[in-house]
Amino acid sequence: MKFAFVIHPTSLDDVVRYEPGAVGKGRPLIEKIMEWMPAYAAAHVTGVRTPDGRETEGWFVGATFLPEQMLALPRERVYQKILEAIRIGADLGAEIVGLGAFTGVVGDAGITLAERSPIPVTTGNSLTIAAGVKSLLRGAREMEVDLPRATAVVIGATGSIGSACVELIAPHVEHIVMVARNLTRLQRLLAELADRVPCSLSIETDVRAAVPRGGLVLTATTSTQELIEPADLQTGAVVCELSLPHDVGQRVAIERPDVLVTEGGNMRVPGNVRFERVREPGREFNNAFAPGTALACMSETMVLALENRRAHYTLGRGIDLAKVREIETLATRAGFELADMRAFDKPITAETIAAARAAAQKRRATSAERKRAAV
């Protein structure tokens, strides 16, 4: 069974990666071109092969809007372009389609698109959640965080991904601060989860007030702005981003060497996966991933194709944790696993992690000395 996955640029850097001819053009011109540019088949994905010999192939199909355009333009117009991309995938032979980045967020998170789609749809959020929580906990181990006594901050907690992450993180930590803009929705979520999870919970609408409280931070927002700055973070904090565009400011990488930031949704694809530009056969499609890897939402779509699941899977604002666990099991059986850690679109090496641990220890020692001197 074959698959399609709808992509779109989440930044101007993505535009240049997808279409090198955009180099040197200003943002207003690029936005206008993308607004009127039709959907198109961007990449042919081949070489996905499980350890037990199952194979699939598929296509990345571009729906050419930036996140800001998807949020600002009339919803029906955005739907039309996404559906155009889905139909291109179906015409190429895909029997299931995944919605990438904001295409799975706009409107009702895939429900309307699924109703109009000629093939089954998934947002890929179930495997994104499983991979994100695993990535956060891996980072905590690398930074030697005392998990049973730790506080985690989940930004975007009332969203479908964020609320599910709260439940999956809860057994591992002492306390979770749930952060979102809408206080009423936060209060409703707190009431819903308070007696269901094994850790204590609190709520906060101010990101800048919440982040300093957590040794662990997970972001799952639909923001188009950077939310976390260097001064916000605890010494030795671990930040896992499930959001695109990035929620963590680039300055964190420069000014906070004691902090470990990781992108949470990257998976290693089994086989010898290749992404080839459709318009220029033989040329690699530059998706900014490390070789042999893909986002977890893409990977969920591939797994469903490998399983011959011709049915809608992850849709809407609510997440079924049973599906999160199921797709994680299916992905593991198919040979998908967490990719090596990355941050700010670059790999994180063992040396980088060791340096972050050392910088955190030094920063704590300096802070302790200052406190003693002040007494």
Q: Measured at the alpha carbon of residue 67, what is the angle toward residues 297 and 265, in degrees to the nearest 5? A: 25
Residue 187 contacts residue 193 (beta carbons within 8 Å):
no
The predicted pLDDT at position 245 comes to 65
Strands 55-62 vs 96-99: parallel, antiparallel or unpaired: unpaired
Strands 346-347 vs 342-343: parallel, antiparallel or unpaired: antiparallel
Strands 121-122 vs 96-99: parallel, antiparallel or unpaired: parallel
CA dihedral sign of residues 361, 363, 369, 374? negative
The predicted pLDDT at position 244 comes to 67
Half-sphere exposure of 87 (CA within 13 A, CB side): 9
Phi, psi of 11 (to 5 degrees): -160, 170
Domains and CATH numbers, the chain: 3-126+266-338 (no CATH), 129-265+341-370 (3.40.50.720)
Q: What is the pLDDT along the chain (375 residues), one digit of tens a residue?
A: 999 999 998 877 777 766 766 666 777 887 788 888 899 999 999 999 999 999 999 999 999 888 888 888 999 999 999 999 999 999 999 999 999 988 988 888 899 999 999 999 999 999 999 999 999 999 999 999 999 999 999 999 998 899 999 999 999 999 999 999 999 999 999 999 999 999 999 999 999 999 999 999 999 887 767 788 899 999 999 999 987 667 788 889 889 999 999 988 789 999 999 999 998 888 998 877 888 999 999 999 999 999 999 999 999 988 899 999 999 999 999 999 999 998 877 888 899 999 999 999 999 888 877 777 776
The predicted pLDDT at position 366 comes to 85
CB atoms < 10 A from the CB of 338, how many? Answer: 17
Strands 266-268 vs 337-338: parallel, antiparallel or unpaired: antiparallel
Residue by residue, DSSP assigns 223-270 as: -SS--B-GGGSPTT-EEEE--SS-SB-THHHHH-TT-EEEETTEEEPS
* Token reading at 101: 């980045």
Q: Report the alpha-carbon distance of residue 313 to residue 10 in Å, rounded.
A: 24
pTM for the model: 0.90
Short-list 358, 100, 99, CA closest to 244:
100
The predicted pLDDT at position 36 comes to 85
The predicted pLDDT at position 123 comes to 95
Residues with Cβ within 8 Å of residue 232, at least 6 apart in sequence: 207, 208, 211, 212
* Token reading at 250: 């680039």
CA dihedral sign of residues 50, 10, 19, 72? positive
The predicted pLDDT at position 139 comes to 95
